[in-house]
A and B are shown apart, each in its own frame.
Chain A
């Protein structure tokens, strides 16, 4: 059974960079034609797609965040990562990592999420 687990600091200062990793177990990131993505949920708000990455490093980002987001993949660690620069309080959210099967429009496996608070 595929499992994903987010990890990273729970508190980030304003203007700094938020960095999270997602460890995949139960399958190799580069063994299937899937994309791997990040989604967030701000307090009291709905879900927001941040971006996705193929195992070859090809990325797709939400235009609203594109200038601040980098998603990368490390096949040797079976992980993919999120970097969000110049964070503000508006970036305080529950961050999820998930798998998007190739040619699909849905995320079929998700991590439990990790709460990141932006505060000084």
Chain B
């Protein structure tokens, strides 16, 4: 049971906008920055979004993040085939004094 709650799957056709939700609590998402990672089998996880809506160098602008209260979202605009991956949200947890993660959402490009 992950501390942050994500839907197990999401899907869309090429070009569509897909969103992935992440629900937490006041000790993590509600009070600290939310980060998102992209995981592809056999490769190192990739930091996609940090500080709620900041993109590291090289991450396409079609990826964006937002937060409202104790929930956060990752949006992929203009979905591409290479975006098929599992996405994890994460946030610092003040109670744990460490990062917590969601269970991951597998995004499928139809």
Question: In the complex, what's the smallest C-beta–C-beta distance from A47 to chain B, in angstroms?
Answer: 4
Q: Using C-beta atoms within 8 Å of the partner chain, give the interface range for chain A.
A: 20 to 34
The interface residues of chain A lying within 8 Å CB-to-CB of B45 are 96, 98, 107, 110, 113
B98 lies within 8 A of A62 (CB): yes
Assuming the contacts A106-B35, A112-B44, asked whether A46 and B97 have C-beta atoms less than 8 A apart, the reply is no
B2 lies within 8 A of A60 (CB): no
Assuming the contacts A52-B98, A60-B97, A105-B33, asked whether A47 and B44 have C-beta atoms less than 8 A apart, the reply is no
* In the complex, chain A residues 66-98 whose Cβ is within 8 Å of any chain B Cβ: 96, 98
B101 lies within 8 A of A105 (CB): no
Q: Is A111 an interface position by the 8 A CB rule? A: yes
A108 lies within 8 A of B56 (CB): yes
The interface residues of chain B lying within 8 Å CB-to-CB of A109 are 44
Q: Is A56 an interface position by the 8 A CB rule? A: no
Q: Is A16 an interface position by the 8 A CB rule? A: no
A60 lies within 8 A of B50 (CB): no
A binding-site residues for B, Cβ under 8 Å: 4, 39, 45-49, 51-52, 60-63, 96, 98, 100, 104-113
B binding-site residues for A, Cβ under 8 Å: 2, 6, 32-33, 35, 37, 42-47, 50-51, 56, 88, 90-92, 96-104
